[in-house]
Amino acid sequence: MPEIRQSIATREWVIIATERARRPHEFCNEASELTEQRPARKADCPFCPGNEEAATMEMLRWPAEGPWSLRALLNKYPALDKEGKRVRCFDGIHRCMTGVGRHEVIVESPVHNTCLALLDSAAVTQTLVACQARGQAFARDPRIEHIVYFENHGLSAGTSVEHPHAQLLGLPLVPYDVRNRIEEAGRYFDDTGNCVYCDIWQAESAEGTRMIASNELFVAFVPYAALSPFHTWIVPRMHRPSFLSAEPDELVALGQILRDVLHRIYAGLHDPDYNFIIRSAPLQRSERDYLHWYLSIIPRVNETAGFEMGSGMFINTGLPEESALFLRSIDH
């Protein structure tokens, strides 16, 4: 019989389709070319070395002299406008705000045919350090209330440029979903005196059946109520609401475990498209006791359909325990 699981963090229910479940290897992306099979440089790629002049304004370049290994750029087609005032308007059904905010891109490597899974840990850490540095710059903009950090890897994950890059979007508001997560975490804290994310990583770590990897500072696991096959959380053991206050040694440890998990996914599932997101507290929130930042990876191995849109629920066609066992067992 299928099982319906509820996340104690978000209260979202997911149908674990035990009867319809596919074995982990059946999600393997056999058809498309691997990232590493592409050319190492493309003349028309806006992020490849040699095309720096054609790109948008550079916000960061490491190292500052000589060949660069990472750059941060303004997004050429920003979702929000860097300039302008935040103004709200209310008039009947018209409730809106000027689209001001920040939208930048982190070019993770000068090499076109690579990705975080194929880079070394130090390069992955460098991307995280750059995300944090640009996030800190966003945080000084008084119009920004919340930052979303994410990567789109592959066409079905919504990328338009192959060259490996992450993105940051600074929003002039706290999204409805984020507000709900804060409220749910607050209720859990009221009921138990604990941070729900601390309770989750400790329980997952103790139970072990959904664990993928861990190090001194992070644990990586497929959550009990995972929304899709191989959906992975990487949670810091240290309780902190915001990614912006993560310590340098934490970013080193995160670079190591993120690279490890992404390489397991790359090797085990043949370079599937994926998204990763960093969920961090809104900038103006000081709920130190019950918000906890973490990183979430969503391999795009199945489609969402009308049921998901109509209910907000997901049908996970992979067993979380099998997904975790598969990724844990990858010899890479």
Contact with its own copies (CB under 8 A): which of 136, 192, 284, 304? 304
Cα gap 243→221, rounded to integer Å: 19
Active-site positions read 165
- Total Cβ atoms within 10 A of residue 86: 15
Shortest Cβ 253–its own copies spacing (Å)? 22
Determine contact, residues 219/235, Cβ cutoff 8 Å: yes
Q: Which of 59, 63, 40 is nearest to 50 (CA)?
A: 40
CA-based angle 286:291:297, to the nearest 5? Answer: 135
Nearer to its own copies by C-beta: 65 or 303?
Answer: 303
165 in contact with its own copies (CB under 8 A): no
Nearer to its own copies by C-beta: 137 or 277?
Answer: 277
Determine contact, residues 318/228, Cβ cutoff 8 Å: yes
Shortest Cβ 130–its own copies spacing (Å)? 16
- The burial of 306, by beta-carbon neighbours within 10 Å (0-12 exposed, 13-18 middle, 19 or more buried), is given as exposed
Tokens encoding 246 = 């993560």
- To which residue do tokens 């990472």 refer? 70
Handedness of CA 48, 52, 56, 61 (dihedral sign): positive
Q: Which of 12, 11, 14 is nearest to 2 (CA)?
A: 14
Site for its own copies in 248-287 (CB under 8 A): 275-279
Shortest Cβ 148–its own copies spacing (Å)? 4
Contact with its own copies (CB under 8 A): which of 32, 51, 56, 156? 156
Contact residues for 332 (Cβ-Cβ < 8 A; gap 6+): 263, 264, 267, 268
Shortest Cβ 192–its own copies spacing (Å)? 11
Site stretch for its own copies (CB under 8 A), options 64-72, 130-138, 143-151, 254-262: 143-151
- The DSSP code sequence of 155-217 is GGGT-S--S-EEEEEEESS--HHHHHHHHHHHHHHHHHSS-HHHHHHHHHHHH-TTEEEE-SS
Shortest Cβ 99–its own copies spacing (Å)? 3
Site stretch for its own copies (CB under 8 A), options 31-39, 59-67, 71-79, 137-145: 71-79
Shortest Cβ 167–its own copies spacing (Å)? 7
Site stretch for its own copies (CB under 8 A), options 114-122, 169-177, 237-245, 256-264: 169-177
Contact with its own copies (CB under 8 A): which of 57, 313, 329, 332? 313
244 in contact with its own copies (CB under 8 A): no
Determine contact, residues 265/324, Cβ cutoff 8 Å: no
Contact with its own copies (CB under 8 A): which of 47, 138, 224, 294? 224
Shortest Cβ 159–its own copies spacing (Å)? 7
Nearer to its own copies by C-beta: 1 or 31?
Answer: 1
Q: Which of 107, 142, 149 is nearest to 244 (CA)?
A: 149
Site stretch for its own copies (CB under 8 A), options 38-46, 80-88, 120-128, 258-266: 80-88
Nearer to its own copies by C-beta: 221 or 326?
Answer: 221
CA atoms lying within 13 Å on the CB side of residue 205? 17
Nearer to its own copies by C-beta: 19 or 190?
Answer: 19
26 in contact with its own copies (CB under 8 A): no
CA-based angle 146:199:299, to the nearest 5? Answer: 60
200 in contact with its own copies (CB under 8 A): yes
Contact with its own copies (CB under 8 A): which of 177, 216, 247, 249? 177
2 in contact with its own copies (CB under 8 A): yes
187 in contact with its own copies (CB under 8 A): no
Q: Which of 248, 244, 324 is nearest to 291 (CA)?
A: 244
139 in contact with its own copies (CB under 8 A): no
